[in-house]
Structure 1
């Protein structure tokens, strides 16, 4: 009986992270669609970003201290180097990336968000070359995979940008409920925008900021390992930066008024999900499965976007957008595979007695 219980427990530990991450990606796309809906209905993307992050910060600050309550660290968070990092984490991870993302979303569609989000590993690879953290070693298998994957991702982004193509599913007279929903714009998955090209460029710029944020965050966590506390304080910094910017851009005071309607509901759901639920699940899955487990699920957003677009929304999806997103997904996995090969190579070198000490010293300087 005891062996059976242990066997069941091990199976649950294997299946639970997978199911959890698939659900997280589905919820992310669902909230993206809802955000697109309320922006189409008149909600300013700048106001949405401020309210979402303000509420998320209020939730995350006390939660982060509870999350790390049993952990002890001698490193103080309130030092000038860490505060500087927190400022730039808020700037790149929230103020720039989220404002660009939601304005870009208002001009495009959720499937484009999926495709452009898959450019992050490619952008990170290009940034590492520019910052001279990666050498141009064409004989290296990992480098070749990264170059190939980055090229595929950029190619997929170009397809999304230039080739929308026909609808996968057009409106049908028999789909009376879906037709009514589409006409009333209760749920908007795709609306023909005036500036599709601009939306794609803004989204690509947003995820370039996320790549920069990843580089800053990686070094920050090495200096201060309590991730949720870092997240709460850079969320606060980013919210203040967003508020200062949005009050300048959005001068219409009526745009800041909230009512008990769908707009408020989406803001609350996005804040709770982004600040607590998704972060906690990702941290737990990373601790259980390693650093490469969580990023592997981002291309699942393509499935959810296609599922929602074909299954529930009229005129929701174009062939060009879907094909481009799939190409981006293939490039994403190729870059990730190259990174995995590189990490395994470094792990083997680190475990070597002759090379262990120098590498640890180099790593501590990053």
Structure 2
């Protein structure tokens, strides 16, 4: 009897904690990899309008057959229903956030993008409180920690955006065999300090829109728990919106002709691993754990981005990014502690009201407490 109970608890812990954690971490790696590839492709002349449209198109075409194979359990939402309007809004916000993110990375770097992404938990928590997905008890230590962590995160982001500072790690010097457009573009980027601020503001707006999308997607999944169909309609709507906008913005027809180089690799990678895999993973995580949990993994991307940027792009690391990232990380872990504290309080309260409960998993410390 006890052995069967232990297996049940172990399986529940694996399916509800280990697997979601691994999936979210993998999704963050995929996002940083896409940002790094996109930055390298733009240094070689890839238009971000071309990148956005083709990425959405690739993911839509790949998701279409999956909808027929795995998405037959429920009827499609009607075009006049509030649910369809929410999906339409998610597609529009997704397109706008993608444009803002690509332009922000073009002005700055993938490392700055990952640093600013630390704002996502603060944005998401604030919106979750507004939409009553998170409870605020001002006398609770968990709520106080989440509010303080959100303020600290925003302060850290302001430091990164407004203070670039001297170089801590210099940029890698490219050899003469490297394409000349790379060194020319880097000289232009370093000569315009204001581009760093513009890039930071664009990236901050991107992650605010992403946080709002998390809230909307959570609402959608509560009413229509079909991850593949929801992500397909989101990509389809984003593709239809991006087609006229991107073709109007990028009038150079030669830019739309793709060659088998890093530009094509960046587009395919983004379409498969970001617009498809990451979108499905986040939507599933929103359904399983909620918006705040998904947003908490964003800060992990900063270490990944610094490594990839130094290895593949030769980008420099500035003092402002280091100081701001430390402040952001402190705010991030404060929010995590507050969230964990609330979960533990709820779990203990539930056990007190259910004395017949044999086992309970305390989420914050991953300890097994037994009740005989």
| TM-score category, normalised to shorter length | 0.7 to 0.9
| Distance change (3 Å), C-alpha of 1:181 and 1:16 | farther
Indicate which of 48, 61, 65 corresponds to 1:62: 65
| C-alpha deviation, 1:90, in angstroms | 0.4
CA distance in 2, matches of 1:33, 1:258: 19
Q: Counterpart of 1:32?
A: 35
Give the match for residue 89 of structure 2: 88
1:138 match: secondary structure: coil
Farther-moved stretch of structure 1 (105-114 vs 190-199): 190-199
Deviations 1:138-188 (CA, angstroms, capped at 9, x unpaired): 21223211211111111111111122222232257xx776x75486629x9
1:229 matched to 2:229? The reply is yes
C-alpha distance 310-49 of structure 1, shift in aligned 2 (>3 A):
closer
Taking the aligned partners of 2:186 and 2:22, their CA distance within structure 1 comes to: 25
Residue 185 (structure 1) aligned with residue 182 (structure 2): yes
Secondary structure of 1:168's counterpart equals strand
Q: How many residues of Structure 1 are paired with residues of Structure 2 in the alignment?
A: 339
Give the match's secondary structure for 1:106.
Answer: helix
- Cα RMSD, aligned residues only: 3.7
In structure 1, the partner of 2:140 is 140
Question: Aligned partners of 2:202, 2:87: CA distance in 1, in Å?
Answer: 24
Shift of 1:118: 1.6
Provide the C-alpha distance between the structure 2 equivalents of 1:34 and 1:268, rounded to a whole number of angstroms: 11
Report matched runs for 1:102-117 at 5 Å. Answer: 102-117=102-117
Gaps of 5+ in 2: 354-372
Note if contact 1:168-1:317 (Cα within 8 Å) is conserved in structure 2: yes
Give, in whole Å, the separation in 1 of the partners of 2:174 and 2:58.
Answer: 38
Q: Deviations over 1:40-92 (max 9, x none)?
A: 222221221111111111112222443446xx33x542352221111101011
Q: State how 1:1-366 maps to structure 2 within 5 Å.
A: 21-68=24-71, 72-73=73-74, 76-79=76-79, 80-92=81-93, 94-130=94-130, 137-170=137-170, 181=178, 185=182, 191-192=189-190, 194=192, 195-279=195-279, 290=289, 295-311=295-311, 313-343=313-343
Assess, with a 3 A threshold, how the Cα gap between structure 1 residues 221 and 176 changes in structure 2: closer, same or farther: closer
TM-score normalized by structure 1? 0.78
CA distance in 2, matches of 1:128, 1:284: 18
TM-score (norm 2): 0.77
Q: Distance in 1 between matches of 2:347 and 2:222?
A: 17
Q: Measure the CA separation in 2 of the matches of 1:319 and 1:37.
A: 23
SS of the residue corresponding to residue 91 of structure 2 reads helix
CA 1:305–1:323 in structure 2 vs 1: closer, same or farther (change >3 Å)?
A: farther
Matched residue, 2:358: none
Contact 1:37 1:189 in 2 (8 A): no
Residues 159 and 82 of structure 1: is their aligned pair in 2 closer, same or farther, counting only changes over 3 Å? same
Give yes or no for contact 1:118–1:332 (8 Å, CA) kept in 2. yes
What is residue 363 of structure 2 aligned with on the other side?
Answer: none
SS across alignment from 1:259? coil
Superposed CA deviations along residues 323-342 of structure 1, whole A, max 9, x for unmatched, are: 31232233223224333444
Describe the shift of the 1:147–1:293 C-alpha distance in structure 2 as closer, same or farther (beyond 3 A): closer
